[in-house]
Chain A
């Protein structure tokens, strides 16, 4: 049930909305209930051929030889596609926006890096004949040692999964081994905190399991173009990827889609489009490549596994004074979208709380698991789970009610985030208050009177002195051994955008290297407890939750 709390931020919101809050019929609903909605597979073609792939039974192996002769002679087989038939047989999805190196073949060349990796494609007159011919392809392998654990993969001397990234980590901007966030001095804060709690959280891969599996039908059109009925969630993304892999002008591809039988992130990888189109080019006939349910469950990319190690310093009165998070994202054997998930993860640290000393490190790690991809808030969901479980444990540790503990530490408007942006339009306090009310959870008078609109800013808007190296970059204690050609973890400081009317506390002189810094060199910024006052009456209207309005608080 959707409920509008008109009492919250009422004076800041336009309430004369035309659609939001009112029931609106979806434009595609009539098609759904009459069975007329056309998904990618709901298109008839004469002479439709069917494509199936030979998949690796090994997690990691060198390919010694591939013999397709028996498969080529099998009944119904029209064409066998090998790695050398793929025009550009190395790609990475985000190369379309210039992010990351090409690291994944459409069909494996000399090595397989995960169980289920496609090696050869067979096109036959029927599904059953294609499947029968798949079994006739003889591939001989030399199995290689495997690595399945993110922290093992980062150890020096670990087996190299993906030669494009020899350190087993994605290289940000071609030089950094991970993403990094520094704000204040967590080590100094841990030394003076009343309690320090370090816990490890992890999450298994999750398969989207959309009711429709991944698939594509591609067919020659009359004008030297190919029509592509695609399941893709991002149709133009898939068009660009297919054009690149097949070295085609994109105007020769006529993609039709956008009607997705459940996606949730599992249909952004263009798993089937390039091979289906290549099949249509090579056979001159319509080609259908659809994953079976078992393929979808085992080899369709899932949400990747994550591990988060969180160390917090907390005072007896409940204020969190330091939070350190080290995150490992298991990309599987190839990048796909995991590199981007890691960026989102770091952007989400340290959660919606005002903490004066924060340190974050997040790695995108290659292992011999099935490549991971997007799924509903990936990069953020697993971290949030970890942070919120940690919040409950911290509340328990200091003997404060968990709801009150969150209200005490929540971001308020005007607070400085660890990313050196001023918090705007915060609403965690109100969310917790409403949640407590819904379940009749007793809150103290102070917690009930707290507001996101008051108590923030002032000293809570300060940027604490942050440890940097000689070149003005964020220093590091080593978090892993990086190959020498890389600058280990030395990401430049995020550009500081001064917020208007917020006093900023900057270190007067460059600080010494992290390792040589004496224990109490930097003044330890203490969190300033929010002042408990009733919310002021703001003078302005509209748009608390909108970024499109020009007037912002």
Chain B
């Protein structure tokens, strides 16, 4: 099948790439554009390791076709920090020991960012719901939930 050109914005930079019609966004971001932050954990939409934001909404990169992303804005964990300054979620993940092997972390961070961008002051239950599609085999989730709540609080404090 003929390869097709696609253009989208990746972490604020315009990118153009040729893709197979059946190519996934995860494959394009990783092997096509060399941003290895989103991970492959299952390829079947069950683990959330591939979570990226498409126009601010969390999407599973392994189930999204690249050709559907024409003209959109994609965010991955590689673009979270502002230069050397960490995003509050990144700082909170460090502080709260919210990563062990770190394999789920880029996906978790993006799911959490989508939540906080939409709902700056979530309840614990809302945090749990927001990361319900992201599997972590190491931490037992508690430190991750605490980190997200702490990041929300800290951002709230800064706004006030």
A residues neighboring B (CB under 8 Å): 25-26, 28-39, 41-44, 48, 128, 208-213, 260-264, 290, 292-293
B93, A33: Cβ atoms under 8 Å? yes
B44, A293: Cβ atoms under 8 Å? yes
Query: Which one of B77, B81, B138 contacts A262 once the chains associate, using CB atoms below 8 Å?
Result: B138
Whole-angstrom distance between the alpha carbons of A25 and B34 in the complex? 29
Whole-angstrom distance between the alpha carbons of A418 and B36 in the complex? 53
- Distance (whole angstroms) from the CB of B141 to the closest CB of chain A: 13
Q: Is B131 in contact with chain A by the CB < 8 A criterion?
A: no
Q: Is B5 in contact with chain A by the CB < 8 A criterion?
A: no
Q: Is B68 in contact with chain A by the CB < 8 A criterion?
A: no
Q: Is B120 in contact with chain A by the CB < 8 A criterion?
A: no
Chain A, Cβ-Cβ closest to B91: A33
Q: Which residues does chain B contribute within 8 Å of A33, judged by CB atoms?
A: 77, 80, 86, 90, 93-94, 99, 105, 109
Q: Which residues does chain A contribute within 8 Å of B38, judged by CB atoms?
A: 35
Q: Which residues does chain B contribute within 8 Å of A38, judged by CB atoms?
A: 36
B103, A211: Cβ atoms under 8 Å? yes
Q: Is B136 in contact with chain A by the CB < 8 A criterion?
A: yes
Whole-angstrom distance between the alpha carbons of A284 and B105 in the complex? 35
- Distance (whole angstroms) from the CB of B150 to the closest CB of chain A: 14
Q: Which residues does chain B contribute within 8 Å of A28, judged by CB atoms?
A: 102
Count A-B contacts at CB 8 Å. Answer: 100
Known contacts A39-B39, A44-B34; is-contact A211 B135 (Cβ 8 Å): yes
**How large, as a class, is the contact surface on chain B?**
35 or more
Which of A30, A34, A35, A36 has the most chain B CB atoms closer than 10 A to its own CB?
Answer: A35
- Distance (whole angstroms) from the CB of A325 to the closest CB of chain B: 31
The SS class assigned to the B binding surface is: loop
Whole-angstrom distance between the alpha carbons of A210 and B86 in the complex? 27
Chain A, Cβ-Cβ closest to B102: A32
B residues neighboring A (CB under 8 Å): 22, 30-31, 34-44, 46-47, 49, 76-78, 80-81, 86, 90, 93-94, 97, 99-106, 109, 135-138
Query: Which one of A30, A44, A260 contacts B101 once the chains associate, using CB atoms below 8 Å?
Result: A260
A262, B137: Cβ atoms under 8 Å? yes
Whole-angstrom distance between the alpha carbons of A26 and B102 in the complex? 11
B34, A210: Cβ atoms under 8 Å? no
Q: Which residues does chain B contribute within 8 Å of A262, judged by CB atoms?
A: 100-101, 103, 137-138
Whole-angstrom distance between the alpha carbons of A37 and B105 in the complex? 10
Q: Which residues does chain B contribute within 8 Å of A29, judged by CB atoms?
A: 93-94, 99, 102
B44, A35: Cβ atoms under 8 Å? no
Chain A, Cβ-Cβ closest to B34: A44
Q: Which residues does chain B contribute within 8 Å of A30, judged by CB atoms?
A: 94
Q: Which residues does chain B contribute within 8 Å of A263, judged by CB atoms?
A: 101
- Distance (whole angstroms) from the CB of A444 to the closest CB of chain B: 35
Chain A, Cβ-Cβ closest to B104: A211
- Distance (whole angstroms) from the CB of A219 to the closest CB of chain B: 14
Query: Which one of A31, A35, A292 contacts B76 once the chains associate, using CB atoms below 8 Å?
Result: A35
B103, A212: Cβ atoms under 8 Å? yes
Whole-angstrom distance between the alpha carbons of A35 and B107 in the complex? 9
Known contacts A32-B105, A33-B99, A210-B137; is-contact A292 B77 (Cβ 8 Å): no
Known contacts A210-B137, A262-B137; is-contact A34 B80 (Cβ 8 Å): yes
A261, B39: Cβ atoms under 8 Å? yes
A212, B77: Cβ atoms under 8 Å? no
Q: Which residues does chain B contribute within 8 Å of A128, judged by CB atoms?
A: 22
The 7 tightest CB contacts between A and B, nearest first, are A35-B37, A32-B102, A261-B103, A35-B77, A42-B36, A293-B42, A33-B90
B105, A213: Cβ atoms under 8 Å? no
Chain A, Cβ-Cβ closest to B92: A33
Q: Which residues does chain A contribute within 8 Å of B101, judged by CB atoms?
A: 210-212, 260-263
Q: Which residues does chain B contribute within 8 Å of A25, judged by CB atoms?
A: 94
Query: Which one of B40, B104, B109 contacts A41 once the chains associate, using CB atoms below 8 Å?
Result: B40
B136, A211: Cβ atoms under 8 Å? yes
Whole-angstrom distance between the alpha carbons of A38 and B97 in the complex? 19
Whole-angstrom distance between the alpha carbons of A416 and B111 in the complex? 55
A212, B105: Cβ atoms under 8 Å? no
